[in-house]
Structure 1
Amino acid sequence: MKPFFKNALATLAGIIIGGAVNMGIIMISGAIIPPPEGADVTTMEGLQEAMHLFQPQHFVMPFLAHALGTLVGAFLTAYFVVSEPKKWAFFIGCFFLLGGVSNVVMLPAPLWFSIVDLVGAYIPMAYLGAILTAKIKDKYS
């Protein structure tokens, strides 16, 4: 398989699997930290209307979803690409960061959460994914 196609497949897999991790954590988050009383979190409109009811603990799972989804996606992409794994891991981080920015625009979350999420959940996790990949490849090669 040509390197371009292998890199493209690794990147696509990182996006899909990282997105699945993100969505999986979001899906189970209500069972771990229940939403506020009276909040409809099943639709974007309901979430927007109920955002003022959310307390700091309600933002833990979304942050973890964004961070772990990015970490897994970046790790897998960096592990399977043919060349420049750090560059591709950062590509995944930037891709998920764009999703984070769109969330900040669409949802009226508190400013502190928007800053913590955008600064801490995407690029640092992509970097960590690249570093973990390099350590694992060094150890087992």
Structure 2
Amino acid sequence: MNPVLRNVLAFIAGVVVGSIVNGGLIMISGSVIPPPAGADVTTTEGLQASIHLFEPKHFIFPFLAHAVGTFVGALVAGKLAGNSKMKIALGIGFLFLVGGISSTFMIPAPTWFIVVDLVFAYIPMAYIAGKLVAGKRTPVYS
């Protein structure tokens, strides 16, 4: 298969799989750590109105969803890529980072969470996934 086409398809697969993992973790988060009493988390407006009720524990699953979703998406993309595995994995991290930045404007969150999320959930997880799939290069001695 053409390497460019393979990389494009790998990237798309990484985005899809990473998004599914992210969404899946968000979906189960309320059953693992229930939202505060009286909080409506079904709409953005409800979330905005009740964010003051949230404790630090309520931000664990959103962070995990972002970090694990990015990691798995980057891992899948890097594994499937024909070449430039690290670049493809970091591309997933960058795309998910852009999504994370845009969500900070739509969904309110404490500043500490936004900083932790944007700094640790996206590019570092993509980098780790990229290192795993790129493998170690054996030095060539002449």
TM-score of the superposition, structure 1-length normalised? 0.93
1:114 match: 114
Alignment partner, residue 57 of structure 2: 57
Q: How does 1:1-141 map to 2 (within 5 A)?
A: 1-135=1-135
The whole-number CA distance in structure 1 between the counterparts of 2:92 and 2:34 is: 30
| Aligned pairs, number | 137
Identity across matched positions, percent: 55
Question: How far off its partner does 1:134 sit?
Answer: 2.9
**Distance in 2 between the 1:94 and 1:62 partners?**
18
Gaps in structure 1 of 5+ consecutive residues? none
Q: Greater CA deviation, 126-135 or 72-81?
A: 126-135
Aligned CA RMSD, in angstroms, stands at: 1.3
Deviation at 1:103, TM superposition (A): 1.1
Distance in 1 (alpha carbons) for counterparts of 2:2 and 2:84 = 15
Aligned equivalents of 1:16, 1:49: Cα separation in 2 = 31
- SS of the equivalent of 1:40 reads coil
SS in 2 for 1:5: helix
User: What displacement does 1:108 show?
Assistant: 1.8
In 1, distance between residues paired with 2:135 and 2:67? Answer: 20
- Tell me the CA shift for residue 119 of structure 1: 0.1
Partner SS for 1:100: helix
